């Protein structure tokens, strides 16, 4: 078993923060009795940990995971059951659930077991999803008389296409890790017991590159998804140009010519 060092910077009740590799922060959802069901206190802790990692210059990537049984089996229905329209609309209920998308550093989701409802939505907020072979995805909110409210109708449609998203959101049925991989929602599938380790390896490979270029690439990809091709290309070109003002660009190209490993400083 891998040994993880738990961060001493914050004591959390519903998540575990650890440093499994240089430059990588791992956030493990930790509500085992509730299959990691998402509710406001957990989300607040997750947001806090993500912001801390994002502002830490020594961290280059973040991995979010749950247990082998469940990444997150949905949102906690008990928290929502008795809320009124005035409650949810007046207080912008679940708006804070999207804070993960504001993190500038790459976020990788390692999904084992159930990723349903809010759990599927949280996974889709990550930049890359890796799945265990037995992972199960779905947006079953329609069976509760509601719809996905933390990005499910938007991100799933962009990831797997309108027809499939319509089918799975309107029926509320689940889909497998293999389907998610074939449709492009998931980048790779691993054995459940190796999933987190393999995800951390990829995070480490990302960390080895210059942080400024990594953040620029993430920024360019995400911006391009929101605009037309011409605007996306223009934005990409400006970010490309801007990296020529960095020390990392000089180091990276010098290292290539000198046939040595680059020593990026994030400057």
Helix (H) or strand (E) holding 26: strand 24-29
The percent of residues above 90 in pLDDT, for the chain, comes to 84
Reported confidence tier of residue 106, pLDDT bands at 50, 70, 90:
very high
The residues, ordered by sequence, that sit 6+ positions from 171 with a Cβ below 8 Å of its Cβ are 142
Distance CA 190, CA 178 (A): 11
pLDDT tens digits, residue range 26-83? Answer: 999 999 999 999 998 999 999 999 999 999 999 999 999 999 999 999 888 888 888 8
Distance CA 221, CA 212 (A): 14
Question: Residue 30 has what pLDDT?
Answer: 95
Whole-Å CA distances, 225 to 34, 159, 219, 229, 257: 35, 11, 10, 9, 34
Residue 7 has pLDDT above 60, yes or no: no
118 flagged as catalytic: yes
Q: Which of 70, 75, 150, 165 is catalytic?
A: 75
Angle between helix 162-171 and helix 152-160 axes, rounded to 10 deg: 140
pLDDT tens digits, residue range 139-198? Answer: 999 999 999 999 999 999 999 999 999 999 999 999 999 999 999 999 999 999 999 999
37 flagged as catalytic: no
Which range of 37-41, 88-92, 106-110 scores highest in mean pLDDT? It is 106-110
Q: Which SS3 state, helix, strand or coil, does residue 178 take?
A: helix
Alpha carbon 183 to its chain centroid, in Å, reads 18
Q: Which SS3 state, helix, strand or coil, does residue 75 take?
A: strand
Distance CA 5, CA 178 (A): 32
49 flagged as catalytic: no
Residue 15 has pLDDT above 90, yes or no: yes
The percent of residues above 70 in pLDDT, for the chain, comes to 96
Q: Which of 23, 53, 72, 121 is catalytic?
A: 121
Which residues on neighbouring strands pair with residue 72, listed in sequence order?
115
Spatial CA neighbour of 127 closest among 64, 169, 183? 64
Spatial CA neighbour of 127 closest among 218, 259, 233? 218
258 flagged as catalytic: no
Question: Residue 139 has what pLDDT?
Answer: 97
pLDDT tens digits, residue range 196-219? Answer: 999 999 999 999 999 999 999 999
Q: Which of 141, 149, 150, 217 is catalytic?
A: 141
Q: Which of 118, 132, 151, 210 is catalytic?
A: 118
Instruction: Take residue 118 and report the two structure tokens written for it.
Output: 């809010």
């Amino acid at each position: 078993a891998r040994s993880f060092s738990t961060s001493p910077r914050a004591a959390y009740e519903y998540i575990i923060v650890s440093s499994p590799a240089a430059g990588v922060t791992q956030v493990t959802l930790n509500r085992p009795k509730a299959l990691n069901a998402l509710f406001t206190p957990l989300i607040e802790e997750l947001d806090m940990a993500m912001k801390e990692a994002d502002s830490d210059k020594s961290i280059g990537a973040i991995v979010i995971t749950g247990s082998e049984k469940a990444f997150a089996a949905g949102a906690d229905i008990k928290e929502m059951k008795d809320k009124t329209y005035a409650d949810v609309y007046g207080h912008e209920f679940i708006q804070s659930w999207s804070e993960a998308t504001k993190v500038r550093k790459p976020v990788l989701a390692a999904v084992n077991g159930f990723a349903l409802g809010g759990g599927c939505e949280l996974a889709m907020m990550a930049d890359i999803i890796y799945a265990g072979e037995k992972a199960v995805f779905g947006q079953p909110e329609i069976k509760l008389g509601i719809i996905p409210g933390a990005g499910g109708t938007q991100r799933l449609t962009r990831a797997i296409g309108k027809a499939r998203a319509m089918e799975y959101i309107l029926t509320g049925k689940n889909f497998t890790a293999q389907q998610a991989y074939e449709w492009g929602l998931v980048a790779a599938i691993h054995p459940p017991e190796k999933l987190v380790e393999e995800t951390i390896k990829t995070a480490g490979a990302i960390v080895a590159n210059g942080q400024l270029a990594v953040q620029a690439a993430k920024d360019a990809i995400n911006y391009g998804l929101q605009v037309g091709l011409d605007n996306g290309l223009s934005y990409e070109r400006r970010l490309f140009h801007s990296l020529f003002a960095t020390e990392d660009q000089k180091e990276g190209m010098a290292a290539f010519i000198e046939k040595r490993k680059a020593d990026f400083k994030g400057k």
